[in-house]
């Protein structure tokens, strides 16, 4: 019988479907030391972001060579040593289609929050303050949104921003999008120098240079806004804080951080920052779609079907 370990939770309907397919499903979070002991007894490992699947875990699984598939319920796979897993004959899959709408809606929510000081007003009013004259915002209609990374989530964000009357430009490492007639493709420098809002939708691998650092921020428009609902590490947090302190940037919206949940305390308390605790995919609908994709991946696995590669952009 196929044994599946779900370490970070899964939507209940999807869990029930797996059980009904007569699989032995264990839903339990293990700390690393425990996981090293247990992993050799499973064929499939399903994780979210809380479980780090590093070389130690993969080596432990390789002792029995039983583990053949790791599924990341979500888009990014930065918590999995994908290359090493493949070297050991273990397939790695993610669920790239499930959360695009949810993340895009969060980006739009953050844009409104920054433009109208909703994050500041919410806190100050609860303190009994009436700071009406301090919160003179801007309208987003007519403003330029520059999107860095034009994968599924980037395209969904563009669609929603365009519906609000924003001018949308994008940059992607793969170049212009074939058949695109709706959005203007630009080089990265043009995105930086001409956008009122910049939203990142790119993956991140540990050890890589941040996509947005001090040099990139220096090229941005004075008073621009920066949004990161992609991955912690794609923005240099220290460079961001400096830009906010000097007024180079009017604000930033951050859903993902370099170290989670140990957030930089300066960033955490900064009045120019709208913060959310990595909730891009945290909607009922997205979780249902993630669960469905996980079940489909397991089904394809037992049927011996070929898998597509992991999404390189988000």
Give the side-chain half-sphere CA count within 13 A for 9: 7
Residues paired with 80 in a beta bridge: 53
Radius of gyration of the chain (CA): 21
What is the pairing mode between strands 44-47 and 91-94?
unpaired
Specify whether 63 is catalytic.
Answer: no
* Among 208, 215, 260, 285, the one annotated catalytic: 260
In whole angstroms, how far apart are CA 270 and each of 160, 228, 266, 280, 294?
28, 16, 6, 21, 38
* Among 3, 29, 66, 278, the one annotated catalytic: 278
CA distance 309 to 262: 32
CA distance 299 to 9: 19
Alpha carbon 63 to chain centroid, angstroms: 32
Query: Which of 53, 146, 137 is closest to 107 using CA atoms?
Result: 146
- Environment class of residue 215 by beta-carbon count within 10 Å: exposed (0-12), middle (13-18) or buried (19+)? exposed
Specify whether 66 is catalytic.
Answer: no
User: 250 phi and psi, to 5 degrees?
Assistant: -75, -25
DSSP 8-class letter at 80? B
Contact criterion met (CB below 8 Å) for 149 and 200: yes
Hunting for tokens 């990595």 — which residue is that?
A: 278
Specify whether 17 is catalytic.
Answer: no
CA distance 309 to 94: 9
* Among 17, 119, 231, 270, the one annotated catalytic: 231
Active centre residues (catalytic): 231, 260, 278
């Amino acid at each position: 019988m196929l044994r599946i370990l779900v370490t970070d939770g899964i939507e209940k309907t999807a869990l029930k479907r797996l059980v009904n397919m007569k699989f032995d499903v264990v839903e339990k979070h293990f700390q690393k030391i425990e996981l090293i002991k247990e992993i050799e007894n499973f064929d499939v490992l399903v994780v979210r972001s809380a479980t780090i699947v590093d070389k130690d875990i993969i080596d432990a699984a390789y002792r029995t060579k039983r583990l053949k598939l790791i599924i990341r319920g979500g888009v990014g796979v930065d918590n999995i040593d994908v290359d090493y897993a493949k070297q050991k004959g273990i397939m790695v899959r993610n669920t790239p289609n499930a959360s695009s709408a949810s993340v895009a809606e969060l980006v739009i929510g953050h844009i409104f929050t920054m433009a109208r000081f909703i994050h500041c007003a919410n806190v100050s009013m609860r303190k009994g303050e009436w700071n009406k004259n301090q919160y003179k915002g801007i309208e987003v209609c007519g403003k330029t949104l520059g999107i860095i990374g034009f994968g599924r989530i980037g395209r969904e964000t563009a669609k929603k921003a365009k519906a609000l009357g924003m001018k949308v430009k994008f940059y992607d490492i793969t170049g212009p999008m074939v058949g695109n007639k709706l959005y203007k493709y630009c080089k990265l420098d043009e995105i930086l120098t001409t956008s009122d809002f910049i939203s990142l939708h790119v993956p991140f691998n540990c050890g890589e240079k941040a996509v947005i650092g001090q040099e990139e921020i220096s090229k941005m428009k004075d008073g621009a806004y920066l949004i990161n609902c992609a991955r912690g590490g794609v923005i240099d947090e220290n460079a961001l804080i400096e830009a906010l302190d000097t007024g180079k940037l009017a604000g930033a919206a951050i859903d993902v951080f370099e170290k989670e949940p140990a957030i930089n305390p300066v960033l955490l308390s900064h009045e120019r920052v709208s913060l959310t605790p990595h909730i891009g995919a945290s909607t009922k609908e997205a979780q249902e779609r993630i669960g469905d994709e996980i079940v489909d991946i397991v089904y394809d696995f037992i049927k011996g079907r070929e898998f597509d590669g992991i999404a390189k952009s988000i």
